[in-house]
Structure 1
Amino acid sequence: MRRVFVVGVGMTPFVKIGSREWTYPEMVSAAVGAALGDAGIGYDRIQRAAAGYVFQPSAAGQRTLYDVGLTGIPIVNVNNNCATGSTALMLAREWVGAGLAEVTLAVGFEQMTKEAMAGSGAAPKVTTIDAHLKAMAGQFEFGTSPMTTQFFGNAAIEHMRRYGTTVEQLAAVAVKNHQHSTRNPLAQFRDPYTLAQVLGDRPVHGPLTRSQCSPMSDGAAAAVIASEDFVAAHGLEAQAVEILAQELVTDDASAFGSGSMIDVVGAPMTRAAARKVFDSAGIGVDDVDVIELHDCFSINELITYEALGLCAPGESGALVESGATGYGGQWVVNPSGGLISKGHPLGATGLAQAAELSWQLRGLARERQVPGARIGLAHNLGLGGACVVTAYAAPAGAAQN
């Protein structure tokens, strides 16, 4: 497999659904245009494209990219639930890595609706989360909140019972990420929250309050992926962020056989993907400087700390309270504000993570720049299920940021 680089990124602001008059082709054109401009190339140079979304119509990838250019290239539509954006990135990387193309495009987008998230009509006989529902049914009564909220809220209850995690530690995740987003002009939420405000916010399910949950969002993000030869031929070495390793895994039997809601919401997938990435890249978690992880709910950031190896099981609450995952700590986790505060347009999230880490590793993150960032890690999770973990390295010739 050849070396592969991210040479251009772009994204729109992430905004509250329905708050901005735009169409999803318009948001894709903006994100792709920014990524192409960053790479210094035209759309006519792109040889293949992967377009990720969850709720738009079939073949929406073609519809959106036709507005960018009608060049006849292969366009593959991707849907892998909340891991869609990173799955599109993986396809674009594999095409280049395998020698099928020299330069490719990955784009993710979403124009969400409350109806799409809630579902409509009678429940189908078969759903994508049958195994998750069966595992939860044996331990918890079903509530009235959205099902994903119940899955993660019940995982929080289990974490508290098993390890003594406190509501203050859960809330500390939201405080940190909302604080980080005050520095991000593209984030959906820009206001800081105190611990008292997070704890006193509207209850959602279990110990989770509204400000500990990712919102419904509209937005798009894109990345241009290139080979080492393309980078050299176009003088892009100073901005070429290398994808050191990337792994996509799905649920195995351990997710539903342990009786643990922590496992149901994806901890085994994260552990497996992270282990493969670290082995492939020849690095450890202590080598990582900056992390964008899938904090769809505050509890998932704590679960992911443990699954990635930032701390031992049960120690994540103390870790976030210690400041180790904020500015000045060993790792800066979710400098963008994460899903909780930056926003979570499902198909765009994984590529927004790629954009943030590219900016960080190129020293372009401005007020939220992580000093000296050389290695970045992205974690993108989708129930039902998929997990993508990606390791990135700063451009070889880049100055220390």
Structure 2
Amino acid sequence: MDRTVQIAGVGMIPFAKPSASEPYDVMAESAARAALADAGIDYHQVQQAYAGYVYGDSTCGQAALYGLGQSGIPIVNVNNNCSTGSSALWLARQAVKSGVADCVLALGFEQMRPGALANVWDDRPSPLARSADAMTAIQGIDDHAPIAAQYFGGAGMAYADKYGTAPETFAKIAVKARRHAANNPYAVFRTPVSEEEVLASPPIYGPLTRLQCCPPTCGAAAAVVCSEEFARRHGLDATVTIRAQALTTDTSTTFDSGDMTKVVGYDMTRAAATRVYEESGVDPQDIPVVELHDCFTTNELISYEALGLTPEGTAEKFVLDGDNTYGGQVVTNPSGGLLSKGHPLGATGLAQCAELVWQLRGQAENRQVDGARLALQHNLGLGGACVVTLYERTA
């Protein structure tokens, strides 16, 4: 079977700093309840659930969803690093599209600790060992900088060395993120910042300063994924369809190209986006709103090109011309993105989904992109996995 897949409901909770959040199970249950309420269905109508999180013990998904009821449905726990939420969504779509299920819940959540990301298990091989070896061969290791910043800061340096990108250009992306987040009640950082403030914040690695790095965040988001027939049968909102979606993992170019932009997933992103455009027949130039993986300002800039929003080597002009915001070619991260909304790893992909569903329904209030009928989502995890999803308003 090859069925049309709808997003019938979405829900999320306001993201918070680690010191201010509720426990993961409380956050996750709240987001799931919100998605079910938005869809207008009860939990007993859900036939499968995919629960995504990165930091947590086994079966956290069950602990989160049992508060809604113990219905006996399959609950699958998902961990694909920072693309976990979108990987749960990808699995939910597969189940519905193939006819295995009619109504599936995709849930993502994260209860994070303060500070930079770090490995939990130090008594076994790291899943990022190949990436670390590739980075070390290119730029070495800095014992004083956060490892994630070294990956993405290094990619920014590689891009800037190739195309002459100014540090101010990366800073403008952080300013834009805060400006967008000011209109998002779910975002952690809503206070505007200036370019001067971004550049004057403490240096982290390469062109990155503190205000160009996403914060550790706690939160949860969810989506109800169903078939067109299920939506029609139960009178659900069938406005938003997943028109195309792709999940990719690393190829050899990630590790042997000698290029830091590829080490952090440029080729994964380009491959996933290409598949989505080929499957849908949509030109990226016709997409008015995008939620992309801006874990660092450098990755947002690189992703403009990987996603085909602007030709290779033109991302700086894209930023300087204002083509990445309201009034330009495409509004990128109207939610404020990972930089300002926050990045609870397992929840990010489904928070992006929620934002884009609201955009396509015309429910994004002061963030609304006028007339949006197509929306693109990009969610990336090192190690690695990338999910690109194209949504369409069909009603």
TM bin, normalised by shorter chain, reads: over 0.9
- Tell me the residue number matched to 1:308: 307
CA deviations 1:190-231 (Å, max 9, x no partner) are: 111111111111111111011111100000000000101011
Task: Give unpaired runs (5+ residues) of structure 2.
Answer: none
1:311 Cα offset (Å): 1.4
- Determine whether 1:28 maps to 2:40: no
Question: Using the alignment, how far apart are the partners of 1:362 and 1:47 within structure 2?
Answer: 25
Provide closer, same or farther for how the CA distance between residues 75 and 120 of structure 1 changes in structure 2, counting only shifts above 3 A. closer
- Determine whether 1:234 maps to 2:234: yes
- Tell me the residue number matched to 1:198: 198
Question: Using the alignment, how far apart are the partners of 1:362 and 1:100 within structure 2?
Answer: 27
- Tell me the residue number matched to 1:163: 163
- Tell me the residue number matched to 1:362: 361
CA contact (8 A) 1:165 1:314 kept: no
Matches within 5 A, 1:10-21: 10-20=11-21
CA contact (8 A) 1:55 1:116 kept: no
CA contact (8 A) 1:160 1:166 kept: yes
- Tell me the residue number matched to 1:139: 138
- Amino acid in the other structure paired with 1:297: F
1:315 Cα offset (Å): 1.1
- Tell me the residue number matched to 2:349: 350
1:117 Cα offset (Å): 2.6
Matches within 5 A, 1:104-115: 104-114=104-114
CA deviations 1:309-368 (Å, max 9, x no partner) are: 111222111211211010111100000000000000000000000000000000000000
- Tell me the residue number matched to 1:264: 263
Matches within 5 A, 1:50-129: 50-114=50-114, 117-119=117-119, 123-124=122-123, 126-129=125-128
Provide closer, same or farther for how the CA distance between residues 283 and 324 of structure 1 changes in structure 2, counting only shifts above 3 A. same
1:9 Cα offset (Å): 0.2
- Amino acid in the other structure paired with 1:202: P
Range with greater deviation from structure 2 (53-62 or 108-117)? 108-117
1:156 Cα offset (Å): 1.1
1:116 Cα offset (Å): 8.5
- Amino acid in the other structure paired with 1:51: A
Matches within 5 A, 1:43-54: 43-54=43-54
CA contact (8 A) 2:116 2:216 kept: no
- Amino acid in the other structure paired with 2:390: A
1:240 Cα offset (Å): 3.0
SS at match of 2:117: helix
Range with greater deviation from structure 2 (131-140 or 277-286)? 131-140
Question: Using the alignment, how far apart are the partners of 1:220 and 1:172 within structure 2?
Answer: 28
CA deviations 1:139-177 (Å, max 9, x no partner) are: 323112221110111111111111001101111111111
- Tell me the residue number matched to 1:323: 322
CA deviations 1:283-326 (Å, max 9, x no partner) are: 11012110000000001011100111111222111211211010
1:235 Cα offset (Å): 2.2
CA contact (8 A) 2:117 2:148 kept: no
1:119 Cα offset (Å): 3.4
CA contact (8 A) 2:116 2:146 kept: no
Question: Using the alignment, how far apart are the partners of 2:254 and 2:117 within structure 1?
Answer: 24
CA contact (8 A) 1:169 1:318 kept: no
Question: Using the alignment, how far apart are the partners of 1:76 and 1:173 within structure 2?
Answer: 36
Question: Using the alignment, how far apart are the partners of 2:236 and 2:287 within structure 1?
Answer: 24
- Residue correspondences, number: 393
Question: Using the alignment, how far apart are the partners of 2:260 and 2:32 within structure 1?
Answer: 38
- Tell me the residue number matched to 2:4: 3
- Determine whether 1:185 maps to 2:215: no
Question: Using the alignment, how far apart are the partners of 2:117 and 2:337 within structure 1?
Answer: 20
| TM-score normalised by length of structure 1 | 0.96
Question: Using the alignment, how far apart are the partners of 1:264 and 1:68 within structure 2?
Answer: 41
CA contact (8 A) 1:231 1:240 kept: no
- Amino acid in the other structure paired with 1:382: G
- Amino acid in the other structure paired with 2:204: V
- Tell me the residue number matched to 1:38: 38
Question: Using the alignment, how far apart are the partners of 1:222 and 1:295 within structure 2?
Answer: 20
User: Share of identical aligned residues, percent?
Assistant: 52
Question: Using the alignment, how far apart are the partners of 2:204 and 2:59 within structure 1?
Answer: 35
Question: Using the alignment, how far apart are the partners of 2:115 and 2:316 within structure 1?
Answer: 34
Question: Using the alignment, how far apart are the partners of 2:297 and 2:325 within structure 1?
Answer: 15
- Amino acid in the other structure paired with 2:9: G
- Tell me the residue number matched to 1:174: 174
- Amino acid in the other structure paired with 2:5: V
SS at match of 1:149: helix
- Tell me the residue number matched to 2:288: 289
CA contact (8 A) 2:175 2:198 kept: yes
- Determine whether 1:387 maps to 2:391: no
CA deviations 1:221-272 (Å, max 9, x no partner) are: 00000101011112224x5310001100000011112100000000000000
Question: Using the alignment, how far apart are the partners of 2:180 and 2:120 within structure 1?
Answer: 36
- Tell me the residue number matched to 1:218: 218
Question: Using the alignment, how far apart are the partners of 1:70 and 1:197 within structure 2?
Answer: 50
Question: Using the alignment, how far apart are the partners of 1:25 and 1:116 within structure 2?
Answer: 23
- Amino acid in the other structure paired with 1:311: T
| TM-score normalised by length of structure 2 | 0.97
CA contact (8 A) 1:2 1:227 kept: yes
